[in-house]
Structure 1
Amino acid sequence: MWRLDLRRVSASAWFFLLALGSSCFLVPDHSFAEDYRDLQKLYRAGDYQKCAETAVKVSQDRPADEDVWAIKIRTEMELGRYAEALTTLESGLRALPMSVRLRWLGRSVYRFNGRSDRARLMESEIGALLQQVAWRYGDLQSQLVLGEFFLSQRVDPKKVLDGIYNILKKRVPSAVEPVIACGDLALEKQDFALAAKHFEQALKMDEANPDVHFGLARAYAESEGDRASNELKATLELNPNHVPALLMIADGHIDAERYVEAGEALARVESINAKHPLAAAYRAVIAHLRNEADTERRARQLALSTWTENPQVDHLIGRKLSHKYRFAEAAACQRRALELDPTFNAARLQLAQDLLRLGQEEEGWKLARAASDDDEYNVVAHNLVALEQNLARFRTLEEDGFLLRMEAREAEIYGPRVLDLVKRAKETLAAKYHVELRQPIVIEMFPRQSDFAIRTFGLPGGAGFLGVCFGTVITANSPASQGENPSCWEATLWHEFCHVVTLSKTRNKMPRWLSEGISVYEEGVENRTWGQALTPQYRQMLLGDDFTPLSQLSGAFLHAQSPLHLQFAYYESALAVEHLVAAYGHEALVAILDDLGQGLAINDALERRCAGLEKLDREFAEFARKRAGELGPMADWSEPELPRRADEATIKTWLKDHPSNYTGLSRLAQVQMATKSWDAAIATLEKMRSLYPEDVRVYSQLATVYHEQGRNSEEFAVLKRLVELTNDDLDAFARLARLAAQSEDWKTMGDMANRWLAVNPLQPGVHRLAADVAEKLGDTKLAIGSYESLLALDPIDPAGLHLQLATVRERQGDLAAARRHALLALEETPRFAAAHERLRSIVERLRSTPAEDAPPPPPVATPLTMRRAS
């Protein structure tokens, strides 16, 4: 069977094909005829039944009208009348034997009638017609079809964009179809920003077009959820039977674990086309997540009943299971899709990502490279290949079942500290949840947020995420990626490792709220300053309409109205876990995880181990509102009725009638501090502290006031309280350490060094502080680690640091290392007298050391060996 390979078409032939789009001999459309406009209105409004009936009559009157045949076929395919569509196709081709548009539609028609061989023949015939009578196909609709055809033949998408779509936009500036085609192409390549740009342009041209609104919904789905929802709503207002939009709604409900609502959306699709393959595929996803194997099998069979080689079915099932962190099952689905169509690049790319998340990196990266080679314009594939090259420069530290990958310098500075933390987390959490971790745990820490996002999501973005766990693979932002105010990386890794434990125990079969809730809860159990604390904003949300019942918490993550609402979802989930543990015991929580691992649905597991959902929702609401009421019970939390720039006198006057209004007191304290009325500010802040003793800002402001007054002991006291409430205030850690040094409180000084290291170990100041503490406490290990970290931070005085290391190593008795550092100090500064003296002392000790204990002699100091490595 002959097939045109347009990837190998000659330059002259390609130029000729491009010339079609710019030809001045565009064949006029028949689409301006009144009857066709009526058909088009019916189709766009989703009245497919009436459209099909009308098309029958019109096609009899106008058998040579290509537009009518095309819309009749499309309507019958929408309704799932595949046999009728085949009859229409064959009749249309008899009437219009040279039509490439009908042949392009015929591919789908034949596939859904079990005739894949005929579908392939349609492609071959299009290629043959192009070689024979290319001049026939200069009209708008044929050119659009040829654009899709060339893309299916792996022609460079840029050539199609520039040679067809962009030329059509110039030749027919009023036509919205080429703009939509550009947007669809950008969506296919996962360039959502470019897609949004095209569809915004299309919206200005045809705001009543449901396909334009749907394109915008897809373009904004990953970045602007509210906008995407509004566009989806607009799509269905224009066409209530818009099947792709209904499927997208079902998709969102599945993500939020609203399976009943998802089923309702799918039922609407099935009322249009009872055998729609993607609707059946979504049914299979829901059945899989509910552990209903027979239902899943039947749904998949239905999905493949009309086109048995359809790779989209298993690809969709696998993609949704991947969203649910079922990566092993998802990978199996993508392999099935590739068995049906080895060229289906979407499945290849998704399989690559799933395998990388499973830690099966050799095959995962190989597939990512193959996907990029196959489609160099796919943004996700390109990003993954670039990331692989960046990861190749990372250093790997391996210990106790962990593979830790970090940028080389960061690994040198604090890699051992990371390993110490995750080993402690493993010992604590694995025992607590009765889990034995057999697979290696991969942890990757990225100094660039964009690399973290690509590794995690495939695309840049995700700026609010600090870390993500896929099961046995953790990705995290390093402090270097977070600017001047990094978060506590120790808390992040503890949180993510807790996911490793719970996901391993449940085999990734747990709702998001429970997974996140346990991780945040366990942060707080390990360290009071980790996790999330109740705030006045959270108090208001718990008591108001923002409170989400326990049974709906997963949806709170998907449909968060703002970053604050997303953070609140984490807090509320942790609160729900705390309630379950308090009311039913930790072992009940462990048993729920066991049940989930066996495939039991979360609602059934909760009812089995705790209580029914209705009771749990009621109990949790009472628990949450009680907790909210415990925050500042004597404070007035209402918003004060004060001018925006009220002065001190105005605020004081208002506070006479509202003495406990917390926001009013806060504004008064700010004004008093701005005017340096320190004593007045202290009185106001102390009043605030009596009303709300957990307010971090109050202690920070009091510390500032006491510092300004030179009252070191009071400042020390409030800073001590402040650091009990926060885990990332580096200024407080540094100031408290300085005050502790003045009073020779070496323990507090050491605590602050450790707290600082847990947030940003990439600052030289914290390692100098740690070295000072180590010297005071005689902690050799800490001293060595601190000096080595300082050396890795490109210091101004490396010779001095090598001397310090030589001194500590000599004191430790490691004379070989001591001698090496003394020599390195002299390499930096050959006339360094103190280093000469230290080397002399070390050599004398070496001479008195028995021969069998003596270290090997140093290398001969030649110009080559004395030069530092670049």
Structure 2
Amino acid sequence: MSVPAGESEVPQARLQRRDRGDLPLKLPLLLLIAFSLAGSTPVNAVSLIEAEKLFRTGRYDECAKVATKEIETGAWGEHWTRLLIEAELAQGKYKAALTSFEQAKQRYPGSGVLHLLGRDVYRANGRVDDAAGEMKTIEALVVNVPQRFATPEGRLVLGRFFLLRGADARKVLDQFYDVVTKQHPDDADGFYATAELALEKQDAALAAQTLQKAPKDAAEDPRYHYLLARAFTDDDRARSDKALAEALKINPHHVDSLLLKADHLIDGERYGEAEDTLKQAFAVNSEEPRAWAYQAVLAHLRNDRAGEAFARQAALSRWATNPEVDHLIGRELSEKYRFAEGSTYQREALKLDPENLPVKIQLCQDLLRLGEEEEGWKLADEIFAKDGYNVVAYNLTTLRDRLAGFRTLEDAGFVVRMEAREADLYGSQVLALLRRAKETLGKRYGVTLKEPVIVEIFPQRKEFAVRTFGLPGADGLLGVCFGRVITANSPASQGETPSNWESVLWHEFCHVITLSKTHNKMPRWLSEGISVHEEGRENPSWAEAFNPRFRAMILDDTQFTPLSRLSSAFLAPKSAVHLQFAYFESALAVEFFEQRFGHDALNGVLDDLGSGMLINETLPSRTKTSLDQLDRDFTEFAHRKAKNIAPELTWEEPELPPDANAAALTTWLETHPKSFWGRKRLGAQLVAEEKWGQAKDVLEQLKGLYPEYVGAENAYVLLAKVFKETSDPTAERKVLEELAARVGNAGPAYERLMTMDEADQNWKSLAQNARHLLAINPLIPGPHRKLALAAEHLGERAEAVTAYRALAMLDTTDPAEVHYRLAKLLHEDGKRAEARREVLMALEDAPRFLDAHRLLLELVEPPVNAQPNR
């Protein structure tokens, strides 16, 4: 099975041989010969096809009646009995299915397919020992009559049997499932089995690829679309929802699809719709334990503990030791960031099935997200030892070894882990920022943290993704907070234009505060909205700019989301822009709420959430305003803000070729004089044509009309070029400082300002701009060099030493000079031993460096007031 790009191949685990006498996966020669000789049992093909269609389309009762009639009339063929049992199971008629199975196995004692189905029947009826007995029966059949498994269907049964016995998944895939899909490409069941195995091992990409190779008639099967929906759930929710719709179009009673739909609705905090979907599932099968488990989740989210306990008990009423119930409840709660509650349910599941690997994987990730690392990493090792094919376990154990080489910094209730070199370069600044955030945000929201906050910063994006989600990916995410654990990408993982790492950590630490205050019981829109809002409060340049696209989306009713449904905007965004807009709109909602009702009301909402109230209950309570009215008021507020953006401009775009010259753009503007896009293109084109005077007039006017625009080819950048080319440094500095005040990652602007500061010997400004650039990228030598120079002139010896130490790690162009200057500063600070080391390093690189020799002489001579040795 494939592993994520960039990862090593997953080692193959050996088939575990247990005392109970598991069969080796390599089958005897007799079985292989039988595969090549056996045929299938003849059945009434036309009638069976019709009956299978009834089952496939959800007409389970009709299917069962047809099958019963065929059995009663003496039709030979276990297919009819299996179809009857499956129809009874689908409707929750577990006792009837048990009766049908026990009658059938008397008639077809040699059917491995039937015995494996019998295992499910016994488990549904809570008869676990009898289910285990069916596995022993299958084992005996494999040894004594291997020809029974000679069909494609038999091979798939053997694959599932060996997986249940703990066999290596890759060997099952190679020796059974792949054989069926290659030799019988028209048999969809082989593709289904492979996809299910891939999903169980959390390899959704392989599952999707496999299903897309399935035969065309699989498109008529709800199971195909259901599996496809599962494969796309995490990475493409819109496509997943489309596949679910296809499944339910074929079979409106397909319980698996209904439950996955409910799962998606719960993710989107559309709890009422999820409840309605569960009712549809109960109408098909009132005994379905997974539906009751989801019902328990909804009760938990409503803070209905009695309802939660009732639903859980109903889920376990038939099979009291079913581990899937607690596993599902816990997994869903963890999806809601309620990791403590989720891990509690996983522990309950492990009491029922101590060797259940999916439960252990979920518990492992819950514990790591809770900061309970010792137990979490131990579980990861245990899982990988038993299932070397599990992608998540492999990734986590590999990452743990990598983390062992990180540097750990501890201070003021923080445990920060960084790659050693990065820790040396800006670890102290990370701690300083976190201390400031803790004081500022803790006071603002009335939160005192009782446990250490763990922050892990990764120089590789795939490492961040594995620590965060267990799998590579997570494109577009800069950081994630789970409560008291923060994971973040360092500037090293972000290419040439990294985001401002200070704003990222401020945002994520704000989550620590609000999640702590609410005990992780808050909707995503409010959590993200507050964090984005607080970024802009701390530093206006960190705020998200009000760009033309967002303006248009706010004024478009099909793209603007009402306040009461804002979390749904994060569920299945159409694009990265739509996801970014969800963050922007959420912050706008928090701004609206604070302006209208005050910060105390917002804190009250967080208190209510922490006590168990739902967001759509506390909002009306705290504001004395109905949800409908809040939606209308927020819409009016957002529309007003959008319309106040560049109110004197219009938004039509020039219908001209991309290479249109300034003259053509000027002519077009004669009939569209207020067009923002037209003026923007004209300003850029005038700069390209080096018509500096005309460009200056157009761009200054555009900046005045739309000062918020800092996107591509904005007026600030273009004016800076105009002023540089026309030798007007005062105007150039002013426009660059205006841009930097609006954009938190304006790296090129800071680089140009530093050049101008050094030329003007404006050391204070040079130091400040160097610090700003280090907040964007501390991994390049330029800002460290400028900061060292400025700090020396300002007499800030400690800062100069820190900057030169960083420069010594980053810059190899003139290491002797760097070590020499560092030695001088350390000597001035009375640190003679350190100074000697540095000056010797300078002389090692430049043996004829006279100033370094002079400094060394000073350092080896005893100080004037030193006491003689006695």
TM over 0.5: yes
In structure 1, C-alpha distance between the alignment counterparts of 2:42 and 2:234, rounded to whole Å: 39
Letter in 2 for 1:698: A
Q: Name 2:744's counterpart in structure 1.
A: 727
Q: Name 1:442's counterpart in structure 2.
A: 454
In structure 1, C-alpha distance between the alignment counterparts of 2:351 and 2:726, rounded to whole Å: 75
2:110 counterpart of 1:98: yes
Q: Name 2:120's counterpart in structure 1.
A: 108
2:396 counterpart of 1:384: yes
Letter in 1 for 2:636: E
* Change in CA separation of 1:843 and 1:582 when aligned onto 2, cut-off 3 Å: same
In structure 2, C-alpha distance between the alignment counterparts of 1:330 and 1:648, rounded to whole Å: 62
Q: Name 1:547's counterpart in structure 2.
A: 560
Letter in 1 for 2:101: L
Q: Secondary structure at the match of 2:36?
A: coil
* Change in CA separation of 1:850 and 1:443 when aligned onto 2, cut-off 3 Å: farther
Aligned partner (choices 634, 638, 652) of residue 620 of structure 1? 634
Higher alpha-carbon deviation: 372-381 or 334-343: 372-381
In structure 1, C-alpha distance between the alignment counterparts of 2:215 and 2:76, rounded to whole Å: 32
**Pairing 1:106-505 to 2, within 5 Å after superposition:** 106-202=118-214, 204=216, 206-505=218-517
Q: Deviations over 1:470-527 (max 9, x none)?
A: 0000000000000111000000000000000111111111111111111001001100
Q: Name 2:764's counterpart in structure 1.
A: 747
Aligned partner (choices 622, 630, 634) of residue 609 of structure 1? 622
Aligned partner (choices 646, 653, 658) of residue 632 of structure 1? 646
Q: Name 1:576's counterpart in structure 2.
A: 589
Kindly indicate whether the alpha-carbon contact (under 8 Å) linking 1:31 and 1:37 is maintained by their aligned counterparts in 2.
Answer: no
* Change in CA separation of 1:223 and 1:725 when aligned onto 2, cut-off 3 Å: same
Q: Name 1:527's counterpart in structure 2.
A: 539
Q: Name 2:9's counterpart in structure 1.
A: none
Higher alpha-carbon deviation: 263-272 or 824-833: 824-833
Kindly indicate whether the alpha-carbon contact (under 8 Å) linking 1:466 and 1:492 is maintained by their aligned counterparts in 2.
Answer: yes
Q: Name 1:738's counterpart in structure 2.
A: 755
Q: Deviations over 1:177-233 (max 9, x none)?
A: 112211111111111111111100015453222211222111122222222222111
Higher alpha-carbon deviation: 365-374 or 828-837: 828-837
* Change in CA separation of 1:248 and 1:9 when aligned onto 2, cut-off 3 Å: closer
Q: Secondary structure at the match of 1:801?
A: helix
Q: Secondary structure at the match of 1:846?
A: coil
* Change in CA separation of 1:12 and 1:295 when aligned onto 2, cut-off 3 Å: closer
2:839 counterpart of 1:822: yes
Aligned partner (choices 764, 770, 782) of residue 799 of structure 2? 782
Q: Secondary structure at the match of 2:409?
A: strand
Kindly indicate whether the alpha-carbon contact (under 8 Å) linking 1:791 and 1:798 is maintained by their aligned counterparts in 2.
Answer: yes
Kindly indicate whether the alpha-carbon contact (under 8 Å) linking 1:203 and 1:212 is maintained by their aligned counterparts in 2.
Answer: no
Q: Deviations over 1:643-676 (max 9, x none)?
A: 5543333321221122111001112122222222
Q: Name 1:868's counterpart in structure 2.
A: none
Q: Deviations over 1:523-565 (max 9, x none)?
A: 0110000131211111111111211111001110112111111
Q: Name 1:510's counterpart in structure 2.
A: 522
2:701 counterpart of 1:684: no
Kindly indicate whether the alpha-carbon contact (under 8 Å) linking 1:196 and 1:220 is maintained by their aligned counterparts in 2.
Answer: yes
Kindly indicate whether the alpha-carbon contact (under 8 Å) linking 1:495 and 1:522 is maintained by their aligned counterparts in 2.
Answer: yes
Q: Name 1:597's counterpart in structure 2.
A: 610
Q: Secondary structure at the match of 1:201?
A: coil
Letter in 2 for 1:304: L
Q: Secondary structure at the match of 2:541?
A: coil
Aligned partner (choices 674, 686, 700) of residue 688 of structure 2? 674
Q: Name 1:70's counterpart in structure 2.
A: 82
Higher alpha-carbon deviation: 130-139 or 309-318: 130-139
Letter in 2 for 1:672: L
* Change in CA separation of 1:744 and 1:13 when aligned onto 2, cut-off 3 Å: closer
**How far did residue 815 of structure 1 move?**
2.8
Letter in 1 for 2:738: R
Q: Name 1:804's counterpart in structure 2.
A: 821
* Change in CA separation of 1:688 and 1:7 when aligned onto 2, cut-off 3 Å: farther
Kindly indicate whether the alpha-carbon contact (under 8 Å) linking 2:31 and 2:146 is maintained by their aligned counterparts in 1.
Answer: no
Kindly indicate whether the alpha-carbon contact (under 8 Å) linking 2:31 and 2:147 is maintained by their aligned counterparts in 1.
Answer: no
Letter in 1 for 2:810: L
In structure 2, C-alpha distance between the alignment counterparts of 1:31 and 1:500, rounded to whole Å: 63
Q: Deviations over 1:289-317 (max 9, x none)?
A: 11000000000001111111111111111
* Change in CA separation of 1:702 and 1:794 when aligned onto 2, cut-off 3 Å: closer
Aligned partner (choices 793, 818, 821) of residue 810 of structure 2? 793
TM-score (norm 1): 0.95
Show structure 1 runs of 5+ residues with no match.
855-870
* Change in CA separation of 1:123 and 1:99 when aligned onto 2, cut-off 3 Å: same
Kindly indicate whether the alpha-carbon contact (under 8 Å) linking 2:111 and 2:148 is maintained by their aligned counterparts in 1.
Answer: no
Higher alpha-carbon deviation: 40-49 or 63-72: 63-72
Kindly indicate whether the alpha-carbon contact (under 8 Å) linking 1:506 and 1:594 is maintained by their aligned counterparts in 2.
Answer: yes
Q: Name 2:8's counterpart in structure 1.
A: none
Kindly indicate whether the alpha-carbon contact (under 8 Å) linking 1:6 and 1:150 is maintained by their aligned counterparts in 2.
Answer: no
Q: Secondary structure at the match of 2:742?
A: coil
In structure 1, C-alpha distance between the alignment counterparts of 2:649 and 2:684, rounded to whole Å: 18
Q: Deviations over 1:87-139 (max 9, x none)?
A: 10011111111111111111111112121111111111111121111122212
Kindly indicate whether the alpha-carbon contact (under 8 Å) linking 2:483 and 2:515 is maintained by their aligned counterparts in 1.
Answer: yes
Letter in 1 for 2:807: L
* Change in CA separation of 1:565 and 1:12 when aligned onto 2, cut-off 3 Å: closer
In structure 2, C-alpha distance between the alignment counterparts of 1:792 and 1:427, rounded to whole Å: 32
2:36 counterpart of 1:24: yes
* Change in CA separation of 1:823 and 1:349 when aligned onto 2, cut-off 3 Å: same
In structure 2, C-alpha distance between the alignment counterparts of 1:147 and 1:603, rounded to whole Å: 48
Show structure 2 runs of 5+ residues with no match.
1-15
Kindly indicate whether the alpha-carbon contact (under 8 Å) linking 1:35 and 1:58 is maintained by their aligned counterparts in 2.
Answer: no
In structure 1, C-alpha distance between the alignment counterparts of 2:480 and 2:129, rounded to whole Å: 45
Letter in 2 for 1:678: W
**Pairing 1:641-720 to 2, within 5 Å after superposition:** 641-696=655-710, 697-720=714-737
Kindly indicate whether the alpha-carbon contact (under 8 Å) linking 2:546 and 2:709 is maintained by their aligned counterparts in 1.
Answer: no
In structure 2, C-alpha distance between the alignment counterparts of 1:12 and 1:643, rounded to whole Å: 66
**How far did residue 843 of structure 1 move?**
3.6
Q: Secondary structure at the match of 1:468?
A: strand
In structure 2, C-alpha distance between the alignment counterparts of 1:752 and 1:204, rounded to whole Å: 62
Kindly indicate whether the alpha-carbon contact (under 8 Å) linking 1:290 and 1:599 is maintained by their aligned counterparts in 2.
Answer: yes
In structure 2, C-alpha distance between the alignment counterparts of 1:612 and 1:16, rounded to whole Å: 74
Higher alpha-carbon deviation: 220-229 or 518-527: 220-229
Q: Secondary structure at the match of 1:202?
A: coil
- CA RMSD in angstroms comes to 2.0
Kindly indicate whether the alpha-carbon contact (under 8 Å) linking 1:6 and 1:153 is maintained by their aligned counterparts in 2.
Answer: no
In structure 1, C-alpha distance between the alignment counterparts of 2:638 and 2:217, rounded to whole Å: 50
* Change in CA separation of 1:332 and 1:830 when aligned onto 2, cut-off 3 Å: same
Letter in 2 for 1:723: A
Q: Deviations over 1:567-623 (max 9, x none)?
A: 111111111111111111111111111111111211222122123312211211111
* Change in CA separation of 1:762 and 1:4 when aligned onto 2, cut-off 3 Å: closer
**How far did residue 151 of structure 1 move?**
0.9
* Change in CA separation of 1:15 and 1:701 when aligned onto 2, cut-off 3 Å: farther
Identical aligned residues as a percent = 47
TM-score (norm 2): 0.95
In structure 1, C-alpha distance between the alignment counterparts of 2:740 and 2:384, rounded to whole Å: 49
**Pairing 1:84-95 to 2, within 5 Å after superposition:** 84-95=96-107
Q: Name 1:862's counterpart in structure 2.
A: none
**How far did residue 165 of structure 1 move?**
1.7
Kindly indicate whether the alpha-carbon contact (under 8 Å) linking 2:491 and 2:779 is maintained by their aligned counterparts in 1.
Answer: yes
In structure 2, C-alpha distance between the alignment counterparts of 1:535 and 1:346, rounded to whole Å: 44
Count of residues paired in the alignment: 850
Higher alpha-carbon deviation: 222-231 or 40-49: 222-231
